[in-house]
Amino acid sequence: MQHTHTPEIAPQTAFESRYASSPAEVQGMNTAQLRRQFLIQDLFVPNQFRWTLSFFDRYLTGGVLPVDGSCPLVAPEQLKAAYFLERRELGVINVGGPGRIIADGTIYDLGYKEALYLGKGTRAVEFSSMDDQAPARLYLNSTPAHQTYPSRKIARADANQLNLGSVDTANERTINQMLINQVLPTCQLQMGMTELKTGSVWNTMPAHVHDRRMEVYFYFEVPEGQAVCHLMGEPQETRHIWVHNEEAVISPNWSIHAGAGTSNYTFIWGMAGENLDYGDMDFCAINELR
């Protein structure tokens, strides 16, 4: 059923903090410890905001799945803010059915794989689904902000597209740069989406690190029964985390972030830190990875 008006409901907010960890700590972690520290699961629970705060650049990763009405964005107690975007900016990418976001009275309708940037100072934000049978699944990333930039929807056609990789190296993919400074101004948040072609399974290979920014990868469109083996760690001390559909992984500034799937898939990358230069990456030679 299509909604024309959705009553406001009181969504629950789940909030978890993850302290920053050093390369030396990570070298000694077993599988469970690595997963507890870096993997983010259960991002979409009906009528809940699910937040994980990483102390790497105070990056917030979250999700909301509105089903019974509209979910107003509330500032988690841990932010000690009068409202969520008092000192933050927010990026939203919809990975579900059609969604609607009303921000200080402006309506933004987000289709599948469309993005929205909301600037610092936006007070009232609510999220709803337009179709009961296919609720919106709104993936959220937020970073501290010290200046207000205009809120704006970024549709697929507004993104910068980079076509990288090849069939020979099983990494033919399209990088859609959505919330990045060539497309719109932000304080420090950058987000986009990388789609792997059928038969290609490797992302971000050759791998890189960027000491000036942390990054979070959110994997989706991972087919039922398939998974992605995400690689992290220092280039000569790599570790892996098996990631399933709609799960995210935190990548410290000192860590590679790459992966190979048992099929093709799509992922959203989001990052924050010192600069807004997407190309500021230190590449790691493939034959030097350990």
Ligand X SMILES: O=C(O)C(=O)C[C@H](O)C(=O)CO
The interface region with Zn ion, picked from 49-57, 123-131, 193-201, 212-220 by CB under 5 A, is 212-220
CB of 167 to ligand X, least distance (A): 15
Residue 175 touches ligand X, criterion: CB under 6 A: yes
Q: Is 257 annotated as a binding residue?
A: yes
Q: Give ∠ CA 153-108-180 in degrees, rounded to 5.
A: 15
Q: How far is the CB of 282 from ligand X (least distance, A)?
A: 11
Contacts of 221 (CB under 8 A, 6+ apart): 195, 245, 265, 266
Query: Annotation-wise, does 146 bind a ligand?
Result: no
Encoded tokens for 151: 């809120």
Strands 237-243 and 173-179: unpaired
Is residue 215 within the footprint of Zn ion (CB under 5 A)?
A: yes
- 274 annotated as ligand-binding: no
Q: Binding string to ligand X for residues 208 to 227, with x set by CB under 6 A, is what?
A: --x----x------------
| Residue 3 annotated as lining a ligand binding site | no
Report the partner that residue 57 touches, choosing among ligand X, Zn ion, none (CB closer than 5 to 8 A by kind): none
Cβ 267 to ligand X shortest distance, Å: 7
Strand duo 48-54 + 12-18: pairing: parallel
Is the link from the previous residue into 23 a cis peptide, with omega within 30 of 0? no
d(CA 103, CA 90): 11
Q: Which of 61, 151, 203, 266 binds ligand X (CB under 6 A)?
A: 203
Tokens at 200, concatenated: 């290609």
Show Cβ contacts of residue 206 under 8 Å, excluding neighbours closer than 6 positions.
283, 284, 285, 286
What residues form the annotated binding site for Zn(2+)?
A: 208, 210, 215, 257
What residues form the annotated binding site?
A: 208, 210, 215, 257
Q: Residues interacting with ligand X, by CB under 6 A?
A: 173, 175, 194, 203-204, 210, 215, 257, 269, 271, 281
